[in-house]
Amino acid sequence: MLRQASVAIDSVSFNQSGSAALSVALASALQQDRRITVLSRADLNRVIAERQMNAQAQGDASPSAMEGLRTAGYLIVGEFRSSTSSHANSISVGGESRVLSTSSSTQMSGTLRALSTDGSLVEAVDVSVNGGGPDALADAAARALLLKLFPMKVVQVDAAQGVVRLNRGEDAGLRAGSHVRLYSLGERIVDPQTGTLLSEGARTYVGDIVLTDVEPGISTGRFAGASFPVSVGYAAQLGAGPSTKTAGGTVVAPRKKAATGTAGKAKAEPEMRW
């Protein structure tokens, strides 16, 4: 499991143009997580140049620039846009329509991607925020990306008290009352030829918990209904029950109802791979 990561904000556009304000806000939001080190693109270029010179001094005629890039861990790119809609409140008097007031709302949305140093996609998150400006958008995007890089997991189980604790809290936008789905994990899948990690393993849904207490970096929940077997290391995902959005506006898909058979009983949810 990933414990720490270095990132560089490579290219973030807003409304099809570069946005320095959004890039700065995103770097600041990511830096709030102690597991993240944010490097500038200039720092990466300096590291690459230094490694090239060192390699040449040691007699390597073709140093690899990608060795320098590996010090960053991930390159962050994204495309975001905003749209504004106007609304008029009017009444009809004597066959004439009169506007009483007007209002407008702005929605910002887009995709943030984490790329490996060779340019291949590692993770991608879709983000949507209603109002708030670049800071709100950056905060929501950072939280969504961090949940991908450092997934929520069960870190403690008190079966006697029916309590489950997770390794994420306010830092992931969680709040008391949020419903969280828990999954058991299968064996990790590794490509035997390249040694590349293909999957953290198949996951199988086991049940829901409802968060009762949320701190900056940890949260506590209780079973949503009858208890079920839970072990440390189980994966957790926000998105069940009435709470389908994290703080900051990051949209999480609502829970789907289980399909039912002819006897009216819920079918087992199929295993999913990530």
244-257 b/e (C-beta count within 10 Å ≥ 16 → b): ebbebbbbbeebee
- C-alpha 93, offset from chain centre: 50
Residue-range domain boundaries for the chain: 1-85+105-150, 152-274
Q: Is 50 a residue whose pLDDT tops 80?
A: no
Mean local confidence (pLDDT), 94-111:
82
Q: Is 233 a residue whose pLDDT tops 70?
A: yes
Phi, psi angles (nearest 5°) of residue 106: -120, 130
pTM of the shown model: 0.61
Q: What is the pLDDT of residues 156-208, one digit of tens each?
A: 999 888 899 999 888 777 899 999 999 998 887 887 887 766 777 788 899 99
Which residues make Cβ contacts (< 8 Å) with residue 231, sequence separation at least 6? Answer: 154, 157, 184
Which two tokens mark 9?
């904000």
Whether the CB-CB separation of 269 and 205 falls below 8 Å is answered with yes
Element (H, E) at 192: none
| pLDDT: which is higher, 263 or 82 | 82
| Class for the domain spanning 1-85+105-150 | alpha beta
**219 — pLDDT class (breaks 50, 70, 90):** very high
Q: Is 265 a residue whose pLDDT tops 60?
A: no
Which residues make Cβ contacts (< 8 Å) with residue 139, sequence separation at least 6? Answer: 25, 29, 248
Three-state DSSP class for 38? strand
6-10, 14-18, 123-127, 254-258: which is most confident? 123-127
Q: Is 227 a residue whose pLDDT tops 50?
A: yes
| Class for the domain spanning 152-274 | mainly beta
Integer Cα distance of 215 and 211 in angstroms: 11
How high does pLDDT run on average in the chain?
75
